[in-house]
Amino acid sequence: MGYYVSMHTKISTWYVHFGKRMIRFGLEEEMSIYCNQVGYLPEARKTAVMTEGEHFKVIKVQSNADEPVLEGTARDMGVDRASGDHVHIADFSEIKQDGVYCVQSETGEKSHPFRIGRDVYRALQRDMTKALYYQRCGCALEAKYAGEYTHPCCHTDDAVLWTDHSVVKEVKGGWHDAGDFGRYISPAAVAVAHLLYAYQLFPESFGESLNIPESGNGVPDVLNECRYELEWMLKMQDEEGGAYHKLTAQRHADFIMPEDDKDQFYLFPVSSMATADYAASMALASRVYRAYDGTFADRLFDAALKAWGWLEKYPQYVGFKNPESCNTGEYDDVCDLDERLWAAAEMLVTTGEQKYQERLTELLQEDLTKTDFGWTDVSGFAALAVLTDASHRADADSVENLRSAVLTEADRLVAVSEKSGYGVAMEPEDYVWGSNMVVLNRGMLLVLAAFITEKKEAYEQAALSQLHYLLGMNAVDYSYVTGHGEHAYMHPHNRPTECDGIELPMAGWVSGGPFKTPADPVGIERIKPGTPPMKCYVDHASCYSLNEITIYWNSPAVFVTAYFNRKQA
């Protein structure tokens, strides 16, 4: 194992790399050049943001040639509202040759190095997908798949109903939702849907093995991994067809390894939101798995149908609120119409039956966004289902309705992105808890717009800008994906990562990212009032409102990168 030393930020931060491990020391001064630390595709627009100086050079890293590959003047963008920074944009799109480069400003400062190449996002997509394997609950993580991040089997005891402790159920399996050990239906449905659509639309991006227990069984590994979650979801349905809102303990566990958590887990009451998300994701999954395993596809479809039956029986909103004594995730929602819309769309695309078309038509009249892919607002999935359906099962009016919603929002996002000094499709008020999910869901919408239209380039470019932001072209100079980028964040709020005694977190985890009103004690203490939204971030393991990881923050990142990893892209 060799080591090398590199110096990147102003004069004072040194990085020593020992094989995989990197130790950073020295006084960290603020950077003033921000780039996508992972890299850029050869044909794409390539920019870096500078907050000092106007003139820049691009140089090849580790080459003896002192000659810059390019010199230029950065474009003055004025003050960026979300960061408060006065920024200049250095455009080096004309460099297309594979290699490792950095941008140097007139002050002599160098950016982090980045790569230009066709495959710059491949390992990123693989690690972000493999990350879900590390969330597997109810089984041991073995060294041959997990490397050093092993742990014995966790959470194997039966659960009981919250409302009646005498009812005992075996509900083992699934993925831990996040830095906590809970498992929740809406987040699960959404995460699986991001991944299944990514696979369905861009299958050629999923050829690589993830090295998981099922690898080599003839099924793409992304489907193998999702099946682990789906098998658990199949257990989360009650006799009437309703989906239990969540399976968690009463209180979040301390910072302990999963196998040491012996708390009783409870099945919390059915909600209409969870049941509609459940019907939708099960219907979608039944279509995707049909080609590989008809019996499994039938089980998924039966579960979807049963959940649909529940939705018909209970047409009114059935919400969920945490009981007072319970502090695990709530995932409450005040409106279930977007979830019902998504379910109608998936059932229609799966079966072609008229009754689902009627329900879809009815719900499309509601005042819904039709462009979101988060756990609260799933309406964008209805658009995704209908607009990418190769058998064109929805009627022309529904298609037009959804298509125009998608394109209107995509045009708005392109404009927001172009106005932002950092190229991100976010207004200052959009920096909520898990803002990176908003960034990535917007990236998904832009990808969908590119996928269904001729105005491809503008949408693609804006979608890529969201990845650039995530991977370091942002006002805090962090790559928000562990293990990817020279200055990737290091301290996710994730119990195993904090407790396993291993210095580096596993690679491929997307951080929740900046939150304009931090809600955890360390975040509140460290972030001064008045800090611009894009800078409300701390890389600290205690910051659950700024630096947690979740399955549904990784999954949209997989979707976006899979689009750019297509062979013909």
Q: Active-site positions?
A: 180, 493, 539, 548
Q: DSSP class of residue 52? A: S
Span 108-147, contacts to Zn ion by CB under 5 A? 137
Strand order through the sheet with 183-184? 164-169, 159-161, 266-267, 246-248, 183-184
CA distance 341 to 424: 29
Span 16-35, contacts to ligand 9MR by CB under 6 A? none
Termini Cα distance of the chain: 36
Binding partner of 438, given ligand 9MR, Zn ion, none, CB within 5-8 angstroms per partner class? none
CA distance 58 to 74: 12
Span 328-347, contacts to ligand 9MR by CB under 6 A? 329-330
Single out the residue of 406, 471, 462 nearest to residue 436, CA to CA: 471
Binding partner of 177, given Zn ion, ligand 9MR, none, CB within 5-8 angstroms per partner class? ligand 9MR
CA distance 482 to 487: 9
Contact region with ligand 9MR (CB under 6 A), list: 8-16, 174-182, 257-265, 363-371: 174-182
Binding partner of 155, given Zn ion, ligand 9MR, none, CB within 5-8 angstroms per partner class? Zn ion
Closest approach of ligand 9MR to the CB of residue 380, in Å: 16
**How many CB atoms are closer than 10 A to CB 315?**
10
Binding partner of 173, given ligand 9MR, Zn ion, none, CB within 5-8 angstroms per partner class? none
Which of 191, 445 has the CB closer to ligand 9MR? 191
Which of 258, 512 has the CB closer to Zn ion? 258
- Which positions ≥6 away from 23 have C-beta within 8 Å? 15, 16
Regarding 155 and contact with Zn ion (CB under 5 A), the answer is: yes
Closest approach of ligand 9MR to the CB of residue 557, in Å: 15
Binding partner of 258, given Zn ion, ligand 9MR, none, CB within 5-8 angstroms per partner class? Zn ion
Report H helices in 378-434: 379-387, 396-419
Burial class, 67, CB count within 10 angstroms (exposed 0-12 / middle 13-18 / buried 19+)? exposed
The site that binds ligand 9MR (CB under 6 A) totals a number of residues, namely 11
Q: Which of 433, 459, 480, 563 binds ligand 9MR (CB under 6 A)?
A: 433
Binding mask 311-330 for Zn ion (x = CB under 5 A): --------------------
Could you please report the per-residue DSSP string of 267-292? EPPB-HHHHHHHHHHHHHHHHHHTTT
Closest approach of ligand 9MR to the CB of residue 170, in Å: 23
Residues that bind Zn ion (CB under 5 A): 137, 154-155, 258
List interacting residues with ligand 9MR (CB under 6 A): 177-178, 180, 182, 329-330, 433-434, 544, 548, 550
